Structure 1
Amino acid sequence: MSDEPDGVPKLSVPVGMFEDIEDIKAQLARLTAVVAAHTGGAGAEPGKAPAEEEAETGEPVEEAEGEEEAQFPPFILLLDSTQYDDELRALIEWVEGVLVPGYLAEPSADARWCHLWVEHNVAIARLHAVWLAWQELTDPATCGYTGPSVWHRDHLDPALRELRSSSGPFAGCTKGDHQIAHRLPSLVPSAWSHGDGT
């Protein structure tokens, strides 16, 4: 016997609808946090930034106790040398541990790769941006279940097209004479092994 009252139509819920709802909830939570960070948090008057409130009242708007200032991802090429080194080490670990083994096939004239990619600032900047997006979009708490798909479509694929194109930063890294004495390897070796003489 059903607890439903008589006359209530039976609805068929499509498979995946609950995942879609969870994705929407996660996106809403993320957007709410972004809006709160830009508008001064929950205590601010809707539609007014803290600077506008200060101009109206003449008093500085105090931040909520314990609330940290919003942190934005660093642009690696603008970091000071110590921060740059730390960020580059973490990026190398991700590129060599995730990207190279999982996504880079045999290099060719149409899909270049330089095992000394860390010597190319353009490659560092693009790969760092892809890595930051990967950190956010592979966390279901912030992006739901569609994050990895979005990461592939919007971040990885365009970056690899640019990096590996014949006019990309690895254009001089081919067999024979070229600008920076790199060669196109027969395999995709690790940047880790290059530094130790292997």
Structure 2
Amino acid sequence: MPDEPEEAPRLDVPVGMFEDIEDLKAKVAHLTSILETLTAGSGEPDEASAADTEKMAGGEGAAAAAEEEDEAQYPPFILLLDPPAYDDELRALIEWVEGVLVPGYLGEPSADARWCHLWFEHTVAIARLHAAWLAWQELTDPASCGYTGPSVWHRDHLDPLLRELRGSSGPFAGCTKGEHQVDHRMPGLVPSAWRIAES
């Protein structure tokens, strides 16, 4: 009796599985190259290799590197910055507010929805807008928050921001069309026993 052909291979393997296998192959190749780099040479790891090994092992070097990465990746709150870092962050904030927020979300200002064209001279507005911008940067990145991030940003950040900024008791309360008052919410100088009068 002639040999019967073997059973045909199954072709219904999910397409995503091939991508997963290729990803795993790439990771294995990368880890293999790191291992070869660490073990190459005289057999004695040099200082750089020791630092790499420590990072891979999760030692203090890894913690310090992670801390530095966090500091570099996430800018601090704008009111905590000193010049020139403050000026750079304010410039970037102005670009976002004038390029995204104003044209996309702010209609015509009115008594019920105030806006000041010199908003960057209001410290409270800068603080609130910067906080919303930081949240926007994080929540519009699908890699970090999935596809629901923009909805969360609108609900938890934008809507409360606009209510606070544009309300009748917000930082723009003294600003009307064509007029700008930055000191309308700032208290005057309070006499203090600690202040020495200038003679």
Q: Same fold (TM over 0.5)?
A: yes
The equivalent position to 1:118 in structure 2, one of 117, 120, 141, is: 120
Aligned equivalents of 2:182, 2:60: Cα separation in 1: 54
Q: What is the DSSP-based 3-state SS (H/G/I as helix, E as strand, rest coil) of the residue aligned with 1:145?
A: coil
Q: Is the 8 A contact 2:121 2:182 kept in 1?
A: no
Specify the alignment match of 2:154 in structure 1.
152
* 1:172 corresponds to which of 167, 174, 184: 174
Query: What TM-score, normalized by structure 2, do the two folds share?
Result: 0.57
Which residues in structure 2 correspond to 1:16-165 (within 5 Å)? 62-64=60-62, 67-69=65-67, 70-71=70-71, 72-165=74-167
Q: Indicate the structure (1 or 2) with the bigger Cα radius of gyration.
A: 2
Which amino acid is the alignment partner of residue 67 of structure 1? A
> In the aligned structure 2, how far is the partner of 1:134 from the partner of 1:67?
26
Over 3 Å counting, the alpha-carbon distance change for 1:177 and 1:159 in structure 2 is closer
Q: Which AA in structure 2 matches 1:117?
A: W
In structure 2, relative to structure 1, the CA distance for the partners of 1:142 and 1:178 (3 Å cut) is: closer
Unaligned runs of 5+ in 1: 4-40, 45-60, 183-198
Task: In structure 2, list runs of 5 or more residues that go unmatched.
Answer: 1-9, 11-54, 185-199
Residue identity in the other structure for 2:151: S
Q: Report the RMSD for the aligned CA atoms in angstroms.
A: 2.8
Given the two structures, how large is their TM-score scaled by the length of structure 1? Answer: 0.58
